[in-house]
Structures are given as structure tokens and as C-alpha cells.
Structure 1
Amino acid sequence: MNVITVSVTLAAVILCYNEALASCTYYREPCFYQNQFYFLGERWQSDNCETCRCKRWGYKCCTRFWTPIGLPEECIALWDQKQCQYQIVLRKDETKECQKEPMAGVL
């Protein structure tokens, strides 16, 4: 297990990557996405929050979900499709983030 440190909101929150929630789609075609060619080994992010990687046989795109756990009662996690990540905000006022603190996550 790799441990990473990230600067995100809330000291008590842990981000967990659940391998079971990741799903991959395999494309047996040239590494071409949104009018751009990619070389062997190159990675890019799709519009659907997928991480794609060029392989010898084509490319694969996998969804990745980092799930916040251990939130205090006053906070909730909202999915931000544009940034492909959760935003940790106050339950009573979703326009305000919870207190910003460094924290650890598990990869």
C-alpha cells in the first residue's frame, strides 16, 4: 500500500481509492482523442473523468474514484464533474469549503 500526502480540506478526512469501483474500457484503435494523437505510454484525461493511456495494441481508459471518508457531521462531499474530484463543503452552506488542512490519503 502506498501512502500519499495531499493538501485538501479537513484534517479528519481520508481519501480512499477503491479498485473495485474502477472500470476500464479498452480500445483497439490508434491513440487518438479529441483531434490529438498520443504516443506509446502517454496519458491523458477524458471528458468523462477517465485516465487514458496509449498501449501497443491501442489504448485504455479507466475511471478512478477517490472517496472521502471520515467526514465530520458538519461537512459533506459533493462530486465536481468539471474537476473530476470531490469538494468537501459545509452541510449547511454548500458554497463554503470546510476548514483547509493537510491530510493523508491511501493509494
Structure 2
Amino acid sequence: MKCFLGILFAFVIVVTLCDAYCFFQLNDPLESLDGCIQDGKQHQFGSSWTANCHRCHCGQNGIRCCSIFHTPSGYDKEKCESIFNARTCSYTVVEKGNPSKDCEVLGWSG
């Protein structure tokens, strides 16, 4: 029974960590037959890149991008606020009245 609970707990952690926000953008054949176009840049079929805190891949049908950041959850939203840093693709959670103090975060998603 302990082994089963251990495996179940590990599975829950892995599923939580792998739960990224993703989106898909269809290719427009009128724009390009040689690859995918995102933000005015062409990417070859089969290529991958990171843009705007998302890891993207160009396939024959379109572009699939998934977030590389985690969003905080389970914190005191009245006392604290989350701040996104686009340079590091990460959130910090700080007190509204004293931004130099971090807040406890009970969970992360994404």
C-alpha cells in the first residue's frame, strides 16, 4: 500500500509540473509553403525556438507553442500580488504593502 501511495504521489507531481499552457496556430499556405511565420519571422518546418516565454515548434500543419513559466496559485490574493518578469519568464509573489517581502505560495501551475 505504501508503494502504491508513493507512485500515486509521484504521478500527481509529474502531471502538475507538465501542465503547461499551450496554443496552436494553423499555417496559412498563402503566406509561406516553406515553413511557419510567427511575429514576421519565418521558421523552417521541424524547427523549434523560444519566443515571448513560450517554446514553439513548426510543423506541417502549424505552430505549437507551450509556456515555459509557472503561474502562482494558492496565495493570499488580498495581501499579496504576483508580478511577472518577462526577461526571466518567471513570477514573484510579494506583499502589496511591502514589495520587498515575499509571500508564501502553496502551488504553481503551467
TM norm structure 2: 0.48
Higher normalized strand content (fraction of residues): 1
Higher normalized helix content (fraction of residues): 2
Q: Which structure is richer in relative contact order (CA contacts within 8 A, separation 6 or more)? A: 1
Larger radius of gyration: 2
